């Protein structure tokens, strides 16, 4: 029973494996995928309050892992719902696409439960390789092959970072003689300022920085976001980040505030992410690239929250990533719906969106204003709480730098809202048809963004409860 | 909770905040433009009527926050939904609610496309604006202060004039950029106060001089941009010119007051020592704004720009009154905030009405309409006279009080020679010059007036829109005392606390403090 959510995902993947042996039409595949994802979500929700451990204690099921699994399942369902007919994926590999998607989800779900270095590694690789393959499955109109370039970049950078992580793991194992995170944490607490422990820990963290796209491990982001199909990008931008945050919480809670050197290095990474992401996003023309860079800066904020330590800090980061996923998915929902042929969207292509589809325009504006951190949306509340916690921790200068970043960021978000609302469409005046399922998804995302922003109390309580299961 | 006076029974202020929001949701299912107009008018009028209950029930003998409500909101961070009004905010709240129905009326035929979203933006604006004036929790204040940008941005960006994109983006970026450091200051203040975001808790505390200066700078950037004070005013003419009439009226009458309200509510009580230290600079910036606004207005050919620059000058008077730090000055400043809201709001309505007819804001195109629109120019004449501070109109009383306060300040600070007051007085003369120029052009023009015979005079809706403004011009102009009574206690207590804090700080720090 403890393993039921993962089993359901695995089963879904297998179903798609068998489906891929025949040649079904894409409508069937799509309905099947949404149905299976919904089933997975239900199963994950029913096993929400389970507790226990599996596989010689290397796999823990607690409120923390179940909350993350629920998030992963919900985000996956949302991506599948709004990716429509997956126009960006080659017709002949659509079944395989879903097979790999579910395998990736399986890896990510396993990742959030893993509390042992080897199981972390296996889960991470399972998820990574599935996603590496999804990137080149894109169909392009002109038979261009830039998706191949993206796929290779994603793969090479990913393998590199995995190598770093393995190297770090070997150090940790060598120093502590154990692969269990709990035991490593106990032993490490005496070794924090040893260079070997420092390097080991940092290298393991860097593996996840790659997933979360934190400076300086962000290089894959813009090209992969641009080269992958819109629906693949939506998936990459949301789901793996959830799992990476979960693991970062587990790992950073081992560091605690005493490892001053590590904390300083991570602070630099976090502030560097904010500046790099925001400044680069200013000049982007392609909306997916822009969201990619904005994602880098948001990852910096998540890390910043983790560095405030304690239940409050981790809970805020958790809250922030939940909010980020909702805001980001709202934006990608619009991108996927507007780009009916699966092309890349330039920011200009959104010109006059409010006339072509008022509801999509509202969704986009809400998502972007929320990402920019304008109240009353979740992005503001998350940032505000991060800053409060950071102030408690005494990070005055980083807080000011983070605040300045909010001001920089508003410019590029606003420029998208500007073309969507204030300019009139020039060429393509046609209204955009949005299926009811996608409308429902957008409504749910909007409500989530606003409710989480205005009434964060319950969400914070949940996040705190989840986080407190990690802390002694 | 010694600061709060909780009146049991009906939550009046929450009603004022949430009724417009409810109205915005009510509009959603309706498709017909006229239905939306009537519903919005009904909702705003209802809110205006309810707000009169505030005036009726207000106790002028106490400086505590009345009609207060407090509820836990985000408990983990000790953030509460705390609201209340005192003498400083009462008139601003009522002015906001009273002006909104006229904004709806002014948009009746001006807004022809997408009426429903426009009305929703107006109603959401009203929620945020009332909320800003009554918020007593700093986070609540900040959230509403920022949230207001979105509907205002859309008002300018969608329904604005030809350069609306430039204007709306500039407005948004300026205001947001200015208030980012305000957020940092808020968190810092809360941290030093045991993580209480309750505004009165932050007042009159001992923060240390250096910290006060930094907090003051954060406040100043946020509020001075909103006022706008010279040299942070450049967003204002652009936004005013491009905004639709209702947007201009809201900007001029209400949004600009939030900056000066911020100075009164936050800068003075929270960082008094820094206020005193930086006061001379703020005062001279105010003078610069008065003179600069006056001269620039004199040179404008665009009527909306002219009034926008006159706003820079008038708001310079308001900041002047606040920072001379005496009773006449501050009471004059609050009164002048109301006056500017009435007069400039009405002038923007007038310009909007002529724009609807001529489709131009150019002064030369509207030259000599007096012959064909006698009712219109009558209104325009009275509002122009009010704007230049003619005796018997509202602005005269406000400016007079501010200048009296300035003279008093000069007496204390500069021996007996009134440098500051003498520097401010040319502003009043300039106001006469540019307003009379506008009036002369519009009423009579010259020998080469364009043909205005196609112009129809004001209809009933427009007269109804303007008449109440005229009523207040003379009501405040001839009998200002009742208005001053509402704010008197609060201002007196504010200044008493201020002086007590200063005396204590000087006694503690001796020569170190300025």
Task: Please give the C-alpha separations between residue B30 and each of A91, B35, B106, B156, in angstroms, as whole numbers.
Answer: 43, 7, 21, 23
Q: Tell me the chain A residues in contact with residue B187 when contact means C-beta distances shorter than 8 Å.
A: 384, 387-388, 391, 399
User: What is the structure's pLDDT at B129?
Assistant: 93
d(CA A83, CA A80): 5
Mutation target to probe the B interface, by most B beta carbons within 10 A, among A422, A423, A452, A467 is: A422
For range A318-338, the mean pLDDT? 90
Chain B CB within 8 Å of residue A397 CB: no
Output Rg (C-alpha) for chain A, integer angstroms.
Answer: 21
Q: Tell me the chain B residues in contact with residue A406 when contact means C-beta distances shorter than 8 Å.
A: 180
Q: Tell me the chain A residues in contact with residue B184 when contact means C-beta distances shorter than 8 Å.
A: 387, 399-400, 403
Q: Give, to the nearest 10 degrees, the angle between helix A310-338 and helix A63-82.
A: 10
The tens digit of pLDDT for each residue in A406-439 reads: 888 888 888 888 888 877 766 666 787 778 888 8
Least confident of A153-162, B175-184, B410-419, B473-482: B410-419
For range A46-62, the mean pLDDT? 83
Question: Which residues span the domain enclosing B396?
Answer: 271-493
Residue B278 has pLDDT above 60, yes or no: yes
Q: Tell me the chain A residues in contact with residue B169 when contact means C-beta distances shorter than 8 Å.
A: 414-415, 418
Task: Identify which of A312, A298, A299 has the alpha carbon closest to the alpha carbon of residue A385.
Answer: A312
d(CA B198, CA B195): 9
User: What is the structure's pLDDT at A33?
Assistant: 86
Tokens of A132: 């590496």
Count how many domains chain A has: 1
Torsion B321-B323-B328-B333 (CA) sign: positive
Count how many domains chain B has: 1
Residues A327, A383 contacting (CB under 8 angstroms): no
Please state, rounded to an integer, the average pLDDT across all residues of chain B.
89
The tens digit of pLDDT for each residue in A59-116 reads: 888 888 888 999 999 999 999 888 877 777 777 778 888 889 999 999 999 898 888 8
Q: What number is the ipTM of this complex?
A: 0.86
The tens digit of pLDDT for each residue in B174-187 reads: 888 888 889 989 99
Residue B513 has pLDDT above 60, yes or no: no
Q: What totals of helices (H) and strands (E) does chain B contain, helices first?
A: 21, 2
Mutation target to probe the A interface, by most A beta carbons within 10 A, among B180, B192, B196, B210 is: B180
Helix (H, G, I), strand (E, B), or coil: what is residue A59? Answer: strand
User: What is the structure's pLDDT at A262?
Assistant: 80
If one compares A261 and B223, the residue with the highest pLDDT of the two is B223
User: Which residues on neighbouring strands pair with residue A346, listed in sequence order?
Assistant: A286
User: What is the structure's pLDDT at B456?
Assistant: 84
Closest in B77, B117, B177 to A385, CB measured = B77
Going by their DSSP bridges, the two strands A59-61 and A52-54 should be labelled as: antiparallel
For range B413-430, the mean pLDDT? 84
User: Which residues on neighbouring strands pair with residue B198, listed in sequence order?
Assistant: B137
Please state, rounded to an integer, the average pLDDT across all residues of chain A.
85
User: What is the structure's pLDDT at A429?
Assistant: 67
- Cα angle B221, B226, B232 (rounded to 5 degrees) comes to 60
Which 3-state string (H, E, C) describes B215-256?
Answer: HHHHHHHHHHHHCCCCCCCCHHHHHHHHCCHHHHHHHHHHHH
Residue B110 host element (H or E): none
Chain B CB within 8 Å of residue A388 CB: yes
d(CA A464, CA A466): 5
Chain B CB within 8 Å of residue A467 CB: no
Tokens of A345: 């969207």
Distance in angstroms between the alpha carbons of the first and the last residue of chain B = 33
Q: Mark residue B455 as left, alpha or beta (left: phi above 0; alpha: psi -120 to 50; beta: remaining).
A: beta
d(CA A142, CA A229): 14
Residues A391, B189 contacting (CB under 8 angstroms): no
Residue A172 has pLDDT above 90, yes or no: no
For range A267-285, the mean pLDDT? 89
Q: What is the DSSP string of A360-384?
A: HHHHHHHHHHHHHT-TTSHHHHHHH
CB contact under 8 A, A374 and B176: yes
User: What is the structure's pLDDT at B510?
Assistant: 61
Task: Identify which of B269, B397, B390 has the alpha carbon closest to the alpha carbon of residue B321.
Answer: B397
User: What is the structure's pLDDT at A97?
Assistant: 86
The tens digit of pLDDT for each residue in B53-91 reads: 989 888 888 888 888 888 888 888 888 899 999 889 999
Chain B CB within 8 Å of residue A447 CB: no
The tens digit of pLDDT for each residue in B386-412 reads: 998 888 899 999 999 999 999 888 888
> What DSSP state is assigned to residue B70?
E
Closest in B144, B157, B195 to A421, CB measured = B157
Task: Identify which of B134, B95, B129 has the alpha carbon closest to the alpha carbon of residue B475.
Answer: B95
d(CA A304, CA A310): 13
Most confident range (mean pLDDT) of A144-148, A192-196, B502-506 is: B502-506
Q: Cα distance from B111 to chain A (closest Cα, Å)?
A: 15
User: What is the structure's pLDDT at A460?
Assistant: 87
User: What is the structure's pLDDT at A446?
Assistant: 92
Task: Please give the C-alpha separations between residue B140 and each of A16, A258, B137, B146, in angstroms, as whole numbers.
Answer: 50, 35, 5, 10
If one compares A190 and B406, the residue with the highest pLDDT of the two is B406
Question: Which residues span the domain enclosing A339?
Answer: 4-468
> What DSSP state is assigned to residue A115?
-
* Cβ under 8 Å to A: B residues 151-210: 153-154, 157-158, 164-165, 168-169, 172-173, 176-177, 180-181, 183-184, 187-188, 190-191, 195
For range B271-285, the mean pLDDT? 90
Task: Identify which of A277, A252, A254, A278 has the alpha carbon closest to the alpha carbon of residue A265.
Answer: A252
Least confident of A444-448, B175-179, B213-217, B334-338: B175-179
User: What is the structure's pLDDT at A230?
Assistant: 86
Residues B295, B234 contacting (CB under 8 angstroms): no
d(CA B438, CA B380): 10
Burial B251-271 (b: 16+ CB within 10 A, else e): bbbbbbbbbbbbbbbbbbbbb
Percent of chain B with pLDDT over 70: 98
User: What is the structure's pLDDT at A60?
Assistant: 84
User: Which residues on neighbouring strands pair with residue B302, listed in sequence order?
Assistant: B362
Residue A376 has pLDDT above 70, yes or no: yes
Kindly state whether residue B281 falls inside one of the protein's structural domains.
yes
Tokens of A456: 């964060």
User: What is the structure's pLDDT at B296?
Assistant: 92
């Amino acid at each position: 029973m403890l393993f039921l959510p993962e089993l359901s995902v695995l089963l879904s993947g297998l179903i798609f494996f068998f489906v891929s042996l025949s040649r079904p039409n894409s409508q069937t595949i799509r309905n099947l995928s949404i149905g299976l994802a919904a089933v997975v979500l239900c199963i994950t929700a029913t096993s929400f309050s389970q507790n226990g451990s599996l596989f010689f204690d290397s796999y823990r099921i607690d409120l923390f892992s179940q909350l993350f699994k629920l998030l992963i399942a919900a985000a996956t369902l949302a991506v599948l719902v709004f990716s429509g007919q997956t126009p960006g994926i080659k017709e002949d590999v659509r079944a395989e696409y879903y097979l790999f998607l579910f395998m990736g989800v399986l890896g990510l779900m396993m990742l959030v439960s893993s509390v042992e270095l080897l199981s972390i590694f296996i889960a991470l690789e399972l998820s990574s390789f599935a996603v590496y393959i999804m990137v080149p499955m894109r169909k392009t109109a002109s038979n261009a092959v830039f998706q191949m370039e993206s796929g290779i970049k994603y793969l090479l950078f990913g393998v590199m970072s995995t190598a770093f992580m393995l190297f770090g793991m070997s150090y940790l194992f060598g120093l502590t003689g154990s692969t269990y995170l709990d035991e490593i944490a106990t032993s490490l607490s005496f070794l924090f300022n040893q260079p070997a422990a420092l390097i080991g820990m940092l290298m393991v963290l860097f593996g996840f920085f790659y997933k979360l796209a934190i400076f300086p491990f962000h290089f894959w982001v813009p090209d992969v976001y641009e080269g992958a199909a819109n629906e693949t990008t939506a998936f990459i931008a949301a789901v793996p980040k959830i799992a990476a945050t979960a693991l970062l919480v587990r790992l950073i809670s081992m560091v605690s505030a005493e490892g001053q050197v590590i904390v300083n290095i991570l602070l630099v990474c976090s502030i560097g992410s904010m500046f790099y992401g925001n400044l680069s996003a200013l000049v982007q023309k392609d909306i997916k690239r822009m969201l990619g860079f904005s994602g880098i800066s948001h990852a910096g904020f998540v890390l910043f929250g983790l560095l405030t330590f304690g239940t409050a800090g981790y809970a805020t980061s958790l809250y922030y990533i939940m909010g980020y996923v909702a805001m980001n998915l709202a934006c990608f929902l619009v991108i996927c719906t507007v780009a009916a042929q699966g092309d890349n969207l330039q920011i200009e292509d959104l010109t006059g969106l409010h006339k072509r589809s008022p509801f999509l325009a509202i969704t986009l504006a809400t998502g972007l204003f929320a990402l920019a951190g304008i109240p009353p949306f979740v992005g503001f509340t998350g940032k505000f709480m991060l800053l409060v916690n950071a102030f408690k921790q005494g990070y005055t200068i980083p807080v000011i730098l983070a605040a300045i970043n909010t001001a920089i960021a508003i410019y590029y978000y606003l420029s998208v809202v500007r073309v969507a609302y204030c300019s009139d469409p020039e060429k393509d005046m046609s209204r955009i048809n949005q299926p009811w399922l996608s409308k429902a998804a957008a409504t749910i995302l909007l409500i989530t963004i606003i409710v989480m922003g205005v009434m964060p109390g319950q969400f914070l309580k949940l996040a705190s409860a989840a986080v407190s299961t990690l802390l002694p | 909770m010694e600061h709060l006076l909780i009146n049991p029974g009906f939550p009046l202020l929450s009603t004022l905040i949430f009724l417009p929001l409810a109205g915005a949701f009510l509009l959603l299912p309706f498709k017909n433009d006229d239905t939306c107009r009537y519903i919005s008018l009904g909702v705003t009028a209802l809110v205006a009527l309810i707000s009169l209950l505030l005036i009726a029930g207000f106790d002028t003998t106490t400086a505590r926050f009345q009609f207060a409500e407090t509820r836990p909101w985000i408990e983990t961070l000790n953030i509460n939904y705390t609201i209340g009004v005192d003498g400083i905010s009462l008139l601003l709240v009522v002015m906001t609610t009273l002006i909104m129905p006229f904004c709806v009326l002014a948009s009746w035929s001006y807004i022809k496309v997408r009426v429903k979203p426009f009305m929703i933006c107006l109603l959401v604006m009203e929620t945020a604006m009332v909320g800003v004036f009554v918020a007593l929790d700093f986070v609540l204040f900040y959230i509403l202060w920022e949230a207001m940008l979105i509907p205002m941005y859309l008002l300018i960006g969608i329904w604005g004039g030809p350069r609306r994109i430039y204007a709306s983006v500039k407005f948004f970026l300026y205001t947001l950029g200015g208030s980012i450091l305000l957020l940092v200051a808020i968190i810092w203040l809360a941290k030093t106060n045991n993580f209480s975001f309750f505004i009165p808790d932050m007042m009159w505390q001992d923060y240390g001089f250096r910290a006060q200066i930094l907090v003051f700078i954060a406040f100043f950037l946020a509020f001075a941009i909103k006022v706008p004070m010279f040299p942070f005013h450049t967003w204002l003419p652009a936004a005013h010119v491009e905004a639709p009439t209702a947007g201009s009226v809201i900007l001029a009458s209400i949004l600009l007051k939030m900056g000066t309200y911020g100075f009164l509510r936050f800068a003075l009580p929270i960082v008094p020592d820094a206020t005193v230290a930086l006061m001379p600079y703020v005062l001279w910036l105010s003078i610069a704004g008065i003179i600069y606004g006056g001269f620039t207005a004199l040179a404008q050919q665009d009527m909306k720009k002219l009034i926008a620059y006159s706003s820079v000058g008038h708001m310079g008077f308001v900041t002047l009154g606040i920072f001379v730090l005496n009773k006449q000055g501050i009471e004059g400043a609050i009164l002048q905030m109301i006056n500017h809201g009435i007069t400039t709001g009405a002038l923007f309505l007038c310009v909007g009405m002529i724009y609807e007819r001529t489709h131009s804001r150019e002064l030369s195109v509207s030259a000599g309409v007096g012959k064909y629109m006698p009712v219109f120019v009558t209104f325009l004449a009275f509002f122009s006279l009010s704007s230049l501070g003619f005796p018997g109109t509202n602005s005269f009383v406000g400016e007079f009080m501010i200048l009296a306060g300035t003279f008093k300040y000069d007496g204390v600070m500069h021996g007996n020679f009134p440098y500051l007051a003498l520097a401010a007085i040319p502003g009043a003369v300039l106001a006469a010059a540019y307003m009379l120029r506008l009036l002369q052009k519009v009423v009579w023009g010259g020998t080469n007036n364009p043909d205005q015979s196609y112009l129809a005079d004001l209809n009933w809706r427009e007269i109804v829109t303007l008449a109440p403004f005229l009523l207040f011009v003379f009501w405040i102009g001839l009998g200002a005392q009742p208005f001053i009574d509402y704010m008197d206690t609060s201002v007196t207590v504010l200044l008493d606390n201020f002086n007590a804090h200063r005396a204590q700080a000087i006694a503690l720090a001796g020569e170190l403090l300025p």
